[in-house]
Structure 1
Amino acid sequence: MPELPEVETVRRGLNRVTLHRSIVRGDVLLARTLAYPDRPEAFWAGLVNTHLTDWQRRGKYLLGQLAQNDGKAAGYLGVHLRMTGQLLWVDPMEPVPTHCRVRFFLADHHELRYIDQRTFGRLWWVPPDQEPASIITGLQALGPEPFDETFSPTYLKQRLAHSRRPIKNALLDQSLVAGIGNIYADEALFLSGLRPTVLSCQTGPRRLAQLHQAILDVLTTSIESGGTTFSDYRDIYGVNGNYGGVAWVYDREGQPCRRCQTPIQRIKLAGRSAHYCPQCQR
């Protein structure tokens, strides 16, 4: 699933190419892609003849702010890519791939396509008289963004003090911190020297401060690399992210640690894989 760096890369790309172009029409090729409204005619009634003024990101969600031609607010276009979703900026004359689910036709002969092989992703139109979280209910449970001031070592200490969950599982909890998934939890734990199995409540202030900094460092590095592509993720031009080539531990089971040459191990925690170096992480 695309995580914060991948979604942030898509957001930046969308802000470069889609803003202030009218949505002239659209086509829904798989109706269940629409979460709200769930009828294509109602979805397009809210979007056609509006234009995007800004794309924002909240956790792994994308929110495109809409306006009418007179500048009046027209709500939001919400997108969650889930496991295999892609937003691609293409020429409308390009062949439509099998897994294209929604097509947005914009002014001046441009098209934004939503591609999704596994069909878990969802799109929303949020009317202008509603807050995004009232329609996209997953937004309600999100914790702070990693780069927000509210996300700090002190915050982590307070939230984890009584938790007996493994620290890896805690980092995947979107109510603790928004946007981190399997890839960057593994990478941040490596950089902070923490094993994924360490209990959250047994992680002291010094190590939590190291973890906090590691989270910021690995997310910054991945954003600069355009995210990670191991399978389906692409930016809006269809280009792979480059972080995977320099990952410390994620998806490197059996390969030598980049620091100490010890083979990277993989275990299961609550049904999710966790990669770590048994020598560098304690």
Structure 2
Amino acid sequence: MPELPEVETVRRGLARVTPGHRLEGGQVLLDRAIAHPAQVATFLSGITGSTLSDWHRRGKYLLGQLTRPDGGAGGYLGVHLRMTGQLLWLDPETPVQAHCRVRLWLSDNRELRYVDQRTFGRLWWVPPDTAPDTIMTGLRLLGPEPFDDQFSVAYLRQRLARSRRPIKNALLDQALVAGLGNIYADEALFLSGLRPLTPSDRIGPQRLERLHSAILKVLTTSIESGGTTFSDYRDIYGINGNYGGVAWVYDRDGQPCRVCETPIRRLKLAGRSAHYCPQCQR
């Protein structure tokens, strides 16, 4: 599933190319790709005629800000890519892919195409004067963004102090920190020297500071690399992310640690994979 760096890379790409483009219509090839409104025709009529003015990200959600022809608010175009979703910026004449689910036609002969092999992703139209989290209810469950001031060492200490769950599981909880997922939780734990199974309430102050710093470091590095592509993720131009080639532990089961050459191990935690170095992480 695309995580914060991948979604942020897509957001930045969209924010560069779409502002000022008017939505002139579209085609929904898979009805269940539209989460709201219930009727596909209402979704298309709601966004048609609006201009995309900016893009925002909250956790793994994207929000395209819409402006009506009279300059008033047009609501939002919401997107969650889930496991295999892609938003591609294309010429409308580009052949339609097998897994294309939604086509949005924009001014100046451009197209924003939503492609999703596993079909778990969703799009929303949030009408004007409606809070996005009343429609996209998953937004209500999100904790602070990693780069916000609220996500501090003190915040982590307070949230983890009474939790016995493994720290890897805690980091995947979107109510603790928004946008962090399997890849970057593994990477942050490696950089902070913590094993995935370490009970959250057993992490001392110094190691907690290292963990906080490591989370910000791996996310920053991956954003600078355009995210990670192990299977389906692409940016808006269809280009792979480059972080995977320098990952410390994620998806490197059995390969030598980049620091000590000990083989990386993989274990299952709550149905998810966790990768770690048994020498560097204690």
Which range, TM-score by smaller chain?
over 0.9
Please list every run of 5 or more consecutive structure 2 residues that lacks an aligned counterpart in the other structure. Answer: none
Find the counterpart in structure 1 of residue 116 from structure 2: 116
3-state DSSP of counterpart to 1:13: helix
Tell me if 1:233 matches 2:233: yes
3-state DSSP of counterpart to 2:54: strand
3-state DSSP of counterpart to 1:187: helix
Find the counterpart in structure 2 of residue 68 from structure 1: 68
The normalised TM-score by structure 1 is: 0.99
Structure 1: which amino acid aligns with 2:43? F
- Aligned-partner Cα distance in 2 for 1:252–1:100: 31
CA shift, 1:38, in A, is 2.3
Find the counterpart in structure 2 of residue 31 from structure 1: 31
Tell me if 1:102 matches 2:102: yes
CA deviations over 1:175-205 (Å, ceiling 9, x no partner): 0000000000000000000000000011111
Find the counterpart in structure 1 of residue 144 from structure 2: 144
CA shift, 1:42, in A, is 0.4
CA deviations over 1:7-45 (Å, ceiling 9, x no partner): 000000001111111000100000000000121110011
3-state DSSP of counterpart to 1:219: helix
Find the counterpart in structure 2 of residue 205 from structure 1: 205
Find the counterpart in structure 2 of residue 167 from structure 1: 167
CA shift, 1:156, in A, is 0.3
CA shift, 1:150, in A, is 0.4
Q: How many residues align?
A: 282
Cα RMSD, aligned residues only = 0.4
Find the counterpart in structure 2 of residue 267 from structure 1: 267
- Aligned-partner Cα distance in 2 for 1:69–1:261: 60
Find the counterpart in structure 1 of residue 258 from structure 2: 258
Structure 2: which amino acid aligns with 1:279? Q
CA shift, 1:95, in A, is 0.5
Please list every run of 5 or more consecutive structure 1 residues that lacks an aligned counterpart in the other structure. Answer: none
CA deviations over 1:214-251 (Å, ceiling 9, x no partner): 00000000000000000000000000000000000000
3-state DSSP of counterpart to 1:54: strand
- Aligned-partner Cα distance in 2 for 1:67–1:272: 41
- Aligned-partner Cα distance in 1 for 2:205–2:270: 25
- Aligned-partner Cα distance in 2 for 1:225–1:259: 21
3-state DSSP of counterpart to 2:41: helix
- Aligned-partner Cα distance in 2 for 1:26–1:45: 9
3-state DSSP of counterpart to 2:281: coil
- Aligned-partner Cα distance in 2 for 1:63–1:205: 36
CA deviations over 1:52-87 (Å, ceiling 9, x no partner): 111000000000010012210010000000000000
Find the counterpart in structure 1 of residue 21 from structure 2: 21
Asked if structure 2 preserves the Cα contact closer than 8 Å seen for 1:3 and 1:179, the reply is yes
CA shift, 1:158, in A, is 0.1
In the TM superposition, structure 1's runs of 4+ consecutive aligned residues that sit over 3 Å from their partners are none
Find the counterpart in structure 2 of residue 281 from structure 1: 281
Asked if structure 2 preserves the Cα contact closer than 8 Å seen for 1:31 and 1:38, the reply is no
- Aligned-partner Cα distance in 1 for 2:55–2:210: 32
Alignment of 1:72-87 (within 5 A): 72-87=72-87
3-state DSSP of counterpart to 1:179: coil
Find the counterpart in structure 2 of residue 184 from structure 1: 184
Alignment of 1:51-62 (within 5 A): 51-62=51-62
Find the counterpart in structure 1 of residue 40 from structure 2: 40
- Aligned-partner Cα distance in 2 for 1:34–1:69: 24
3-state DSSP of counterpart to 1:189: helix
- Aligned-partner Cα distance in 2 for 1:141–1:204: 27
